[in-house]
Amino acid sequence: MPGANLRLHNVLRYLHIDSATLCQRDFSALDCLSLDSRAVNASTLFLAISGSHTSGHQYIDMAAKSGCSLAFLDTAKSQQHGMLEERRGKSEHAISCLFVHDLQQKLADIAYCFYTGNNTTNQSQNALPSITAVTGTNGKTSVASLMAQLSSLCHEPSASIGTLGVNLFTKGAQQKLSETINTTPDIISLVTTLATLQKRGCTSVMLEASSHGLAQDRLSKLKVGCGVFTNLTQDHLDYHGSMASYGQAKRLLLKAQDLSEIVLNADDDESLKWQVETFDEQAVYWFSLHDLSAKRHGCWASEINYSTQGISFMLHARFPYFNAQQRVTGPLIGAFNVANLLAAVTALLAQGFSFAALVDAVSSISAVAGRMELFTSTKASVLVDYAHTPDALKQALLAARVHTQGKLICIFGCGGNRDSSKRVLMGRIAKQYADSIVLTQDNSRNEKPSTIIADIQKGLHDLAPHQSLSIELDREKAICQTWQASSVGDIILVAGKGHEDYLEINNQRIDYNERNIVRRLTSAVAPRTNTPSAQSSRGPQ
């Protein structure tokens, strides 16, 4: 790996700027790139470009204050390419500014030169981890995470990049490396992350490709070997204007460099549009909850069982060079997760993974933290989920229902100082889909918890004879007491907090980690097993 000066030298060579331009100033500390003045320090080369709201040029002084010593400024043809200017703003911190023509278009190549020393996209990317991009309205995060877990269980360390930040998986164990501002980061952040991951031994990366990211060309200089499309439902119309252009933005993935394998959802009509737009050299694979038509290659599921231990189904794979089938089991909840798992397995098989190794690996996967995360025990199984809107609560309860053999118990509250109209709706949904309801505190902020609970109760009149309602404001106590009173076959859905690690009460954040509370409670009695026991005969709803 080139040293800091060598990195800069590589970039200057690519830009056809003589290194002597830098007048022998010492930039040896530079070891990373950033587009954002808020993220720079003494070792950052700041790349100032224009955006839709503002321009990086306005933040040169701010970057200097943070210790940044060199900035590249995007410049029109009127200014001389390669001109160096010393700036000393109000802060008295000096910063060297180098003017670069069409900096915006050169960002990817600058990043490749800086981090890999190569100035061709092909060479550079071969040195970095391979990329699978996952797009679609729902399931991106889960599919990317499942793929990274499975790949790491079968092969080398693998990573996911998306809504949950940058996560590195080694033999299935997850390590969070950093947060991401955008689901799909800008090209500079992406190449920076790929270089960091490569240093840590990571060989493959599963990247969430948002429609904004695709529409804004964030991936255009990235070599994406495999693309996965999950589904399309209504979202982001404020940005894309119509479902047609939202769908079109997603399909821009087909134009990604080097895309050779595409995985489509045979149960989603939008996939047909993808199929029509694929290029000859792209191989198409499918996944489905139903038998794939004999002409299609890919994976499907049959004999799906949902239990308090998770999902279990017969995995069928039909690929050009092999056919196989075997039962797989995993601690995941809901038909949508069967689909997510099928998408992940199909994409990995398409890339040459062994069927037997993948089947083995499935039993060791975990749900995404705080998203229908299953904790099994000798009493009820507990699901920790982030659902905090009426629709999300409904979907979580519907998914949990098919796994329940006894009672479905729902523990939840609502936030304070926010949209109060959802409270009664969430009450109604709990009444419609749960057997027992326990109301408790969520982030009440500076509202009285009893007022919030009274609002939820307005949706909980006239419960059926088999239903029960209780109230316990102390959230941890509510969970412990409910679990103590539960029986084998019951499922307790604790909704609202998910992966968060605080409660906001009286306008103060207090430490509160629901996943740890539930893990302690359930594992004190029995460690989690991944082997489904008694299974529900009910199908997905």
In degrees to the nearest 10, what's the CA dihedral of 388, 215, 133, 341?
A: 40
**140 annotated ligand-binding residue:** yes
Q: Work out whether 53 is an interface residue with ligand UAG (CB under 6 A).
A: yes
Q: Work out whether 138 is an interface residue with ligand UAG (CB under 6 A).
A: no
Q: Where are the alpha helices (DSSP H) in 298-376?
A: 335-350, 355-362
Tokens of 8: 């800069």
**477 annotated ligand-binding residue:** no
- Give residue number: closest CB to ligand UAG: 51
CB of 456 to ligand UAG, least distance (A): 27
User: Are 17 and 60 a contacting pair, CB within 8 Å?
Assistant: no
> Which residue, among 484, 338, 501, 332, has the nearest Cα to 411 in the 3D structure?
484
Alpha-carbon gap, residue 179 to 182, rounded angstroms: 9
Tell me which of 8, 11, 15, 37 binds ligand UAG, using CB under 6 A.
37
**141 annotated ligand-binding residue:** yes
Q: Residues in contact with ligand UAG, total (CB under 6 A)?
A: 20
CB of 130 to ligand UAG, least distance (A): 21
User: Are 536 and 305 a contacting pair, CB within 8 Å?
Assistant: yes
Q: Work out whether 186 is an interface residue with ligand UAG (CB under 6 A).
A: yes
Q: What's the Cα-to-Cα distance from 273 to each of 116, 133, 248, 260, 408, rounded to whole Å?
A: 37, 18, 9, 17, 40
Tell me which of 155, 212, 273, 499 binds ligand UAG, using CB under 6 A.
212
Q: Work out whether 135 is an interface residue with ligand UAG (CB under 6 A).
A: no
Closest to ligand UAG by CB, 57 vs 428, is 57
Q: Work out whether 193 is an interface residue with ligand UAG (CB under 6 A).
A: no
Q: What is the DSSP letter of 127?
A: T
Q: Work out whether 213 is an interface residue with ligand UAG (CB under 6 A).
A: yes
**37 annotated ligand-binding residue:** yes
Tell me which of 130, 152, 183, 288 binds ligand UAG, using CB under 6 A.
183
Q: Work out whether 51 is an interface residue with ligand UAG (CB under 6 A).
A: yes
**Residue 497 φ/ψ, nearest 5 degrees:** -100, -40
**467 annotated ligand-binding residue:** no
Q: Work out whether 182 is an interface residue with ligand UAG (CB under 6 A).
A: yes
Closest to ligand UAG by CB, 205 vs 521, is 205
DSSP strands (E only) in 142-237: 158-162, 165-170, 173-178, 204-208, 226-229
**358 annotated ligand-binding residue:** no
Footprint of ligand UAG on residues 356-415 (CB under 6 A)?
none
DSSP of 47-103: EE-B-SS-BGGGGHHHHHHTT--EEEEEE-TTSPTT-EEEEE-TT--EEEEEEEETH
Tokens of 262: 């595409």
Q: Work out whether 56 is an interface residue with ligand UAG (CB under 6 A).
A: yes
Residues 6+ apart with CB under 8 A from 107: 35, 47, 49, 186, 187, 188, 221
Closest to ligand UAG by CB, 101 vs 212, is 212
CB of 33 to ligand UAG, least distance (A): 12
Closest to ligand UAG by CB, 49 vs 154, is 49
Q: Which residues lie across from 28 on neighbouring strands?
A: none
Q: Work out whether 118 is an interface residue with ligand UAG (CB under 6 A).
A: no
CB of 73 to ligand UAG, least distance (A): 12
Closest to ligand UAG by CB, 179 vs 281, is 179
Closest to ligand UAG by CB, 156 vs 217, is 217
Footprint of ligand UAG on residues 474-533 (CB under 6 A)?
none
**192 annotated ligand-binding residue:** no
Alpha-carbon gap, residue 252 to 215, rounded angstroms: 7
Q: Which residues lie across from 229 on neighbouring strands?
A: 135
Residues shown for the chain: 541
Q: Work out whether 105 is an interface residue with ligand UAG (CB under 6 A).
A: no
Alpha-carbon gap, residue 10 to 8, rounded angstroms: 5
CB of 270 to ligand UAG, least distance (A): 16
**Residue 531 φ/ψ, nearest 5 degrees:** -100, 110
Footprint of ligand UAG on residues 407-446 (CB under 6 A)?
none
Q: Work out whether 257 is an interface residue with ligand UAG (CB under 6 A).
A: no
Query: Applying CB under 6 A, which residues contact ligand UAG?
Result: 35-38, 49, 51-56, 59, 181-184, 186, 210, 212-213
